[in-house]
Structure 1
């Protein structure tokens, strides 16, 4: 069976949506030279230049002058005089060390669909959703952004007959994007922190030296002081010591909190890389609405932080898509990409699927969503269209028949297709069925993009007895496809694994 594309509903990258980002050309000496040049301007010239900058860029951003002031606070110490400056001159200096970044200029893809926490004000039968998307811009840096929309039952035609697919309407998108302030975790636990460093392959002697100088619970500032001391005193080659020091501090900075203003539209909320482990991107968030035993709902997302060399599995959590906490995922069973949490505990434990060896799909259980130590193989490539590798396309979806898992398979010419399999509700190690053929394959202009011949999803939902699949097209843009749920489940049950 094949999924049906939803016509007329697509999400394409828009290069006009720009962030302001720190800009630092060259080293401190060059920065001092730039500031010295600004200091030669008269007050009138400073005012004129600042007026021009705010007129040229003010309508492209919210709070632009606030960011200029912050940038002056970060670079102002490099000026050659301690004399007080006018606010206008400080803001102009900040402007020279700021640049625009078009965060989705290259791509807007790999969507994950979740039901919106706010379902008020809708027509009968309709449901509001959130899409998380991977946005990629200059330098192939990926960030996380959001869209929203409403899905409704199929409408009738002139004869009163219902259409085939649900109606999907995307909410308008504003011109602005905003990143929040980041706050580091207040304290860390020494034993767990040390284990994670060793999992990451940080030099053992350096880890032992650092951990030996810390209390059982320590703060970021305490860690930074100890790391600097170890970097200076440990008998290691300077380059090795510096790499180890950067890795230790980078791990601590990977655990943080952010919060957006309550009145900021969802489409303007951007989670941009802000830590050493994320410097090259936040990739492929897989969101799930998790219901705990007491009924509490938390929205979790597993994602990959990438520093240009190493992929770091991370966990994001939020109660409302305004406040977020990011934490490292720990344990040898999370050493790869593509984790997807189940939406509730199974047998009193958290459960997760993932491609932990880059080839097969595994199942994992844990008492804590941040720690995963054991894995069992669940699926291996068996069909020609998936001989290269398998992976999951989002979190498992609960149905009456079992856990429905969207998957991806890679075949000849590195062609990515979307498939599906079904797991037993009580014992998900039991595979009840598996599609022998792809559910969705790249076709027509979907084959053209940054990475050709790819369809990929990070999670769908069930609505009005239809499986809704948001999917990326060749790592460039995103669209939607639908599948009648009953037909899909019947096909899976006819094809036991």
Structure 2
């Protein structure tokens, strides 16, 4: 009999009360000017009265709301008709008229990924703190990355901390420095490298900033107005630069108050399915990476997010001949001196990839095909490989009749992951009657679990609506994957070392 997961009964449902503030964009300069004119026609007492109403109604719902109002006012300055000084209250009120609330998880909270928290201080004896990332979907079906924090106690019980009422998107910082050689290599991979791009980069140094690139591109394109090829290359250069950026949260913000909302041109329709992994470099340095899918409404783009503290994040494009489709997942350490990924470029088979450069992936090797009836439609990973003494444990998803998604697992050789040691012939978790109804019916799906003691903990989504947790005895699962040969996790994995 095949191993089956045990459900915990914990359910994380979307909470429409968790709102953040976003710019309210009207898309019409005429309407912007009219609104500014109407606000500026108010007397100072009227401004103070209306601003007071706004602060009383919305101030307790948000973190540092007035700071954002002032930021929005600064963005409106080009539309002001004069340099006449404005009172602080009028600036705040103008900012409020161009700000909106957005309920980031009103539609769904799903596809979770789980890693150990980088900060294990002040944790009760026997407990361990974890980070749970989730795909939050709200108005317009736009997806972002939301976070929760919790603990696993000495008995393996999962304890989720109640999230804060506040949710805030971060300060966005375009990459302050680009390396020209790497930038040119990315242009080549995107088929944007030609004599026009060479002209646009010619005036830049070996390191350059986004404003410097924008100035140079503007200068060249102004000499060739109405030339479609120049416009195309200019758009590609600036799009690539803006897809590589940093986000910074305030140091005093709780993890569950943080939300990474779509920012770059690649992400206009969402950030999907972040697969977090605690990566340990050869020198022992730990970085948390997440591969995710950026979607602009037409095309998906695999991208990479990295952080050491879940306060400061770098977002970078992934490039190379084999960077395509969804579901790339990074191994938690280098293998034989190279970075390694599990991937699925063709939509149905699982591949192994190696690279000397974390941001460029040129080759792939097929390692698994759909074999059992519950996975005949497609195979994919459910997060990054987990290191055990028996091998690399990978959670997988399979799609069968009626597009039903189920979760299984396979085991790869530690030194040569192209060698498949074993795979589950039956799912370890399939949607039950309480899980099969949702935005996408008949789906259980995960973006990454972890091992705690003798239990594999699987956070999983239920039909693209809500999320839960299940557990599997790790020894029983490894025994099944190694055809019954006794296996123990011993000192377990690089993922368990916080």
Deviation for aligned residue 1:114:
0.3
Structure 1 position 20 matched with structure 2 position 21: yes
Structure 1 position 71 matched with structure 2 position 72: yes
1:169 corresponds in structure 2 to 159
1:365 corresponds in structure 2 to 354
Structure 1 position 385 matched with structure 2 position 386: no
1:33 corresponds in structure 2 to 34
TM-score (norm 2): 0.92
* C-alpha distance in 2 between matches for 1:10 and 1:206: 54
SS in 1 for 2:397: strand
1:7 corresponds in structure 2 to 8
* C-alpha distance in 1 between matches for 2:471 and 2:119: 24
Give the unaligned 5+ runs of structure 2: 486-498
Deviations 1:397-419 (A, max 9, x none): 01111000111112222211111
1:47 corresponds in structure 2 to 48
* C-alpha distance in 1 between matches for 2:346 and 2:195: 28
SS in 1 for 2:408: strand
Deviations 1:151-170 (A, max 9, x none): 1243xxxxxxxxxxx31110
Deviations 1:240-285 (A, max 9, x none): 6545433321211121222222221110011111221112111111
Deviation for aligned residue 1:394:
0.6
Structure 1 position 295 matched with structure 2 position 284: yes
SS in 2 for 1:287: strand
Which of 254, 258, 262 lines up with 2:247 in the alignment? 258
Shift in alpha-carbon separation, 1:213–1:121, aligned structure 2, 3 A: closer
Within 5 Å, give how 1:86-485 maps onto structure 2.
86-154=87-155, 166-202=156-192, 206-212=196-202, 214-234=204-224, 238=228, 241-485=230-474
SS in 1 for 2:236: helix
Deviations 1:203-243 (A, max 9, x none): 856545434554443321221123234444458754x6545
Deviation for aligned residue 1:321:
1.2
Q: In the alignment, is the contact (CA less than 8 A) between 1:20 and 1:100 conserved in 2?
A: yes
SS in 2 for 1:210: helix
Deviation for aligned residue 1:380:
1.3
Q: In the alignment, is the contact (CA less than 8 A) between 1:258 and 1:325 conserved in 2?
A: yes
Q: What is the aligned residue count?
A: 484
* C-alpha distance in 2 between matches for 1:67 and 1:242: 34
* C-alpha distance in 2 between matches for 1:423 and 1:313: 24
SS in 1 for 2:217: helix
Shift in alpha-carbon separation, 1:236–1:31, aligned structure 2, 3 A: closer
Deviation for aligned residue 1:80:
2.4
* C-alpha distance in 2 between matches for 1:253 and 1:470: 32
Deviations 1:307-350 (A, max 9, x none): 21222221111111111111111211222221111111111211
Q: In the alignment, is the contact (CA less than 8 A) between 2:184 and 2:193 conserved in 1?
A: no
SS in 1 for 2:259: coil
Q: In the alignment, is the contact (CA less than 8 A) between 1:206 and 1:234 conserved in 2?
A: no
* C-alpha distance in 1 between matches for 2:434 and 2:274: 25
- Which 10-residue stretch deviates more, 393-402 or 257-266? 257-266
* C-alpha distance in 2 between matches for 1:494 and 1:232: 68
* C-alpha distance in 1 between matches for 2:427 and 2:289: 28
Aligned-pair Cα RMSD in Å: 2.0
Shift in alpha-carbon separation, 1:47–1:448, aligned structure 2, 3 A: same
- Which 10-residue stretch deviates more, 51-60 or 351-360? 351-360
Deviation for aligned residue 1:30:
1.2
Q: In the alignment, is the contact (CA less than 8 A) between 2:9 and 2:469 conserved in 1?
A: no
Deviation for aligned residue 1:438:
1.3
SS in 2 for 1:447: coil
Q: In the alignment, is the contact (CA less than 8 A) between 2:455 and 2:472 conserved in 1?
A: yes
* C-alpha distance in 1 between matches for 2:10 and 2:333: 31
